[in-house]
Amino acid sequence: MVLRFFRGGGDDTLERVEATLQRMLHDDRHSFDAAASALIGGADPDVVGPDLRATDRRVNAAEREIRRELVVHASVQTGPDVPAILVYMSIVKDVERIGDYAKNIYDLAAEGADFSSAPDRDELVAVRDRVSHLIAESARVFAERDTEAARDLIAEGDRLLDTFDEAIGELVRSDRPSSYGVPRALFWRYCKRVVAHLMNVLSAVVMPLDQLDYFDEDRTTRG
């Protein structure tokens, strides 16, 4: 809702910010897929690591670039640009954090976790694919300001959050060894945070400015 008015309105700064956010989300998906390939797909963490770290540095640099652009823009602009500036300032951190959680997933593989031949690999692959797709679709929906699709993705995100909570709960109650339960619980937790940050980004499409980020909360405490 709050960003619906800004659709290529001719402002060069906000157009650049929009393009940079899209690149960040593209890099986030690349980082998530690379990290998951090391943890689930059997890729060598030593091979994946340099590319993932380079991508993370690019995302961090893009976040700083956006913040600088917005600060300068805010110093010389007033009026209708102000809501967009506030929104971008809010969501750029969510976009950056997605890459951080991808790094956390990679760290599990770097520490020796390997789901590539696990009995539950199919389930893990299915979740990986759903989260990866959600990153890509969130980028598209945000760029297009598609409110109906944003609501659909938020509903999908809520279903995923329930899936992650149930999986973590089962592991907490399980008597399996920690070598089985700990890396899985962390994987579910990191995926949950990725999805929550995506939902915050999508909230900018459907929610007023004062309610941004509330999808990062448990549903029972939203609003």
pLDDT tens, residue by residue, 84-126: 888 898 899 999 999 999 999 999 999 999 999 999 999 999 9
Residues near 52 by Cβ (< 8 Å), separated by ≥ 6? 31, 34, 35, 102, 103, 106
Instruction: Give one word for 145, left, alpha or beta, with left for phi > 0 and alpha for psi -120 to 50.
Output: left
Helices marked H in the chain — which ranges?
12-39, 45-76, 81-110, 121-144, 147-173, 178-206
- Under a CB-based contact definition with an 8 Å cutoff, are residues 183 and 113 in contact? yes
Mean pLDDT of 135-143: 96
Q: Is the pLDDT of residue 205 over 50?
A: yes
Segment (H or E) for 157 = helix 147-173
pLDDT at 13: 84
Tokens of 122: 């199919």
SS3 state at 115: coil
Mean pLDDT of 146-154: 95
Q: Is the pLDDT of residue 171 over 50?
A: yes
Indicate the pTM of the whole model.
0.90
- Under a CB-based contact definition with an 8 Å cutoff, are residues 99 and 31 in contact? yes
pLDDT at 8: 47
Q: Among residues of the chain, what percentage have pLDDT more than 90?
A: 74
Segment (H or E) for 118 = none
Best CATH choice for the domain 12-221 from the list 1.20.58.220, 3.90.1530.10, 3.40.80.10, 1.10.1370.40 = 1.20.58.220
pLDDT at 110: 98
Q: Is the pLDDT of residue 221 over 70?
A: no
